[in-house]
Amino acid sequence: MKKILTTVMAVAVLCVTLPIMGHAETKLTYSNFFPPTNHQSKLAEAWCKEVEKRTGGKVVVEYYPGGTLTKAKQCYDGVVEGMSDIGLSCLAYSRGRFPVMAAVDLPLGYTSAAQATHTANAIYEQFKPAELSDVEVMYFNGHGPGLLFTVKKPVKTLTDIAGEKIRATGNSAKLVNALGGTPVAKPMPENYQLLQKGVVDGSMHPIESNKSFKLGEVCKYGTDSFSVAYTTVFFIVMNKDKWAAIDADSQKIIREINQEWATKHAAAWDEADAAGRQFFMDQGGEIIELSAEESEAWAMAAKPVLDDYITETTGKGLDGKAILEFTQSTLK
């Protein structure tokens, strides 16, 4: 009788635990360098909640903003090595490591974040670059047009920028050099003081930074240099082993959410640009529009930056010309 009772109890426990096991949740961590109040950070957190909601709790994501889990430059490798399961940061922080995707960051003449975001995701889908094979790509997004802003001197022609010290990094530094200015490579958080103290004469930055970094308080002139406007690609990637551990139905749901969220990120960037331009003008900032002839001259001056990209990627065994041409056609 005692054996029968023990057997009955064991079966009962099994019946209770099997459904629980069948619905066991996958717990993930998400690292992001943006502070919690930033619009991009809020969207990343909303993505986490949406994944949990639409997978019925089968996938739960713990969110770590502000670089608390991994710093911006460490984020990608942090995902590869399992320090976090998901990460959001800039590809440009690992310059030279992502040559195919780097085409998107070139000064190709962006007019919106929606355009930049669409282009970045199209490049990935077209080329499926090996440089990203050590992670599972969720999606990409890009900020709105990076333009020229100055403190004391309005820039209306290429002659006006000659010799001016402009804070810029990466491809934007190459652009400043091509336009005849002197690039000063300093991180964005230092930009306000550099401009305020006159260490630099101006800055290449997205329009939204006039408000988010308060640069509109120190910059007095903005040049709508759209013919050479650049973007910066942000990645959202997942550890490959963690992705493989997620059930197929949940993977499908996450893919659908990714497509929706790429669009949401782009819209948030464009809204932030509108707010940044308004903030700049509210501080008394003046916008200079380049003439059609001058815009063309700036584009021609920037061409060596594009030529250098082709040379560098071809040297790495890639078809740099084809990558650049596809990027330009997608952009249009």
pLDDT of 217 reads 98
Of 29, 35, 39, 33, which is closest to residue 63 (Cα–Cα)?
29
Name residues whose C-beta falls within 8 Å of residue 124's C-beta, 6 or more positions apart in sequence.
101, 132, 137, 140
List for the chain the helix, strand, coil content (%; round to 5).
Answer: 55, 15, 30
Distance CA 293, CA 158 (A): 11
Of 270, 156, 121, 253, which is closest to residue 206 (Cα–Cα)?
270
Domain extents in the chain:
2-99+112-140+232-273, 146-230+283-331
CB 64 within 8 A of CB 119: no
pLDDT of 264 reads 98
CB 328 within 8 A of CB 106: no
Residue 22: how many CB atoms within 10 A of its CB? 7
Distance CA 172, CA 159 (A): 18
Q: Establish how many alpha carbons lie within 13 A of residue 69's alpha carbon, considering only the half-sphere containing its beta carbon.
A: 24
138 three-class SS: strand
For 149, the enclosing helix (H) or strand (E) is: strand 146-150
Six-digit token pair at 232?
């910066």
pLDDT in tens, 68-93: 999 999 999 999 999 999 999 999 88
224 strand-pairing partners? 289
pLDDT of 18 reads 40
246: DSSP letter: S
CB 137 within 8 A of CB 196: no
pLDDT of 14 reads 42
The model's pTM? 0.88
Of 139, 146, 143, which is closest to residue 122 (Cα–Cα)?
139
CB 157 within 8 A of CB 225: no
CB 202 within 8 A of CB 148: yes
Distance CA 144, CA 325 (A): 21
CB 84 within 8 A of CB 29: yes
| Segment-wise mean pLDDT, segments of 10 residues, the chain, 332 residues | 46 41 76 93 97 98 96 95 97 89 96 97 98 98 97 97 94 94 91 97 96 96 97 97 97 98 97 97 97 97 97 96 97 86
Q: Which CATH architecture has domain 146-230+283-331?
A: 3-Layer(aba) Sandwich (3.40)
Q: Do domains 2-99+112-140+232-273 and 146-230+283-331 have the same CATH topology?
A: yes
CA 271 to the chain's CA centroid: 16
Distance CA 225, CA 197 (A): 25
Six-digit token pair at 244?
């493989």
Q: Which fold has domain 2-99+112-140+232-273?
A: D-Maltodextrin-Binding Protein; domain 2 (3.40.190)
Six-digit token pair at 136?
């599972």
236 strand-pairing partners? 88, 139
